[in-house]
């Protein structure tokens, strides 16, 4: 199993929605004393129901984060920004779970509608979206190949977890349970 030392101090966490990226980032950030960046928060306007910002603004803020922080965890995808992020990363954790499990976690997450959930957009009052559900089922699975290519091209150590059980195993191994 991969140790925390092997991950280094600049960790990217990628993967489909509702696989636990934000929660893992928070847990690792606390354990390793690293600044956590939730890209979905950066990509959307606070106090809206996930209204996106422009790509230009996201790209500027993404670059500013990379420039001003030496040690970090960045969770989220936005593949057009991955190369830049991966160039500085010491490790990538890819949560690559099946769509069915992601959908179950998405429905549970949206039913709770918790404003304290890691990665939640401040001020968002609604979590469920038909557009997001469509994205999860039809669009996100098509991105696996692109993520595979980007991680391979980066030459950065990549820990690819393909089941929620594997993730739970790492929570135990890394002693992340609070």
The domains of the chain are located at 4-173
Provide CB contacts within 8 A for 162, sequence distance 6+: 96, 97
Q: Checking DSSP bridges between strand 91-95 and strand 158-161, what pairing results, if any?
A: parallel
Task: For residue 78, count CB atoms less than 10 angstroms from its CB and return exposed for 0-12, middle for 13-18, buried for 19 or more.
Answer: middle
Closest CA to 106 of 16, 15, 17: 17
Q: Is the sign of the CA dihedral 151, 21, 60, 32 positive or negative?
A: negative
In angstroms, the CA 113 to CA 173 distance is 30
For helices 164-173 and 21-32, the axis angle rounded to 10 degrees is 10
Domain 4-173: state its class: alpha beta
Query: What backbone phi and psi angles, to 5 degrees, belong to 95?
Result: -90, 100
Q: What is the pTM of this model?
A: 0.95
Residue 35 pairs in a beta bridge with: 72
Give the C-alpha separation, 12 to 164, whole Å.
18
Closest CA to 124 of 136, 134, 112: 112
Let me know: does 109 contact 40? Beta carbons within 8 Å: no
DSSP code for 155: T
Q: What pLDDT was estimated at residue 24?
A: 98
pLDDT in tens, the chain (178 residues): 999 999 999 999 999 999 999 999 999 999 999 999 999 999 999 999 889 999 999 999 999 999 999 999 999 999 999 999 999 999 999 999 999 999 998 888 888 877 777 888 888 888 888 898 999 999 999 999 999 999 999 999 999 999 999 999 999 999 998 6
The pLDDT assigned to 178 comes to: 66
């Amino acid at each position: 199993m991969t140790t925390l030392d092997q991950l280094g101090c600049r960790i990217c966490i990628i993967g489909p929605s509702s696989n636990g990226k934000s929660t893992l980032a928070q847990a690792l950030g606390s354990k390793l004393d690293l600044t956590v960046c939730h890209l979905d928060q950066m990509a959307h306007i606070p106090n809206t129901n996930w209204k996106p910002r422009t790509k230009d603004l996201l790209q500027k803020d993404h670059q500013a984060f990379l420039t001003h922080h030496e040690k970090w965890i960045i969770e989220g995808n936005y593949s057009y920004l991955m190369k830049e992020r991966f160039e500085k990363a010491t490790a990538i954790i890819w949560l690559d779970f099946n769509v069915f499990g992601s959908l179950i976690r998405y429905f549970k997450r949206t039913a709770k509608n918790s404003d304290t959930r890691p990665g939640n957009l401040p001020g968002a009052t609604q979590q469920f979206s038909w557009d997001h559900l469509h994205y999860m089922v039809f669009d996100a699975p098509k991105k696996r190949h692109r993520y595979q290519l980007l991680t391979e091209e980066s030459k950065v150590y990549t820990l690819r977890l393909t089941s929620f059980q594997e993730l739970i195993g790492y929570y135990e191994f890394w002693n992340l349970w609070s």
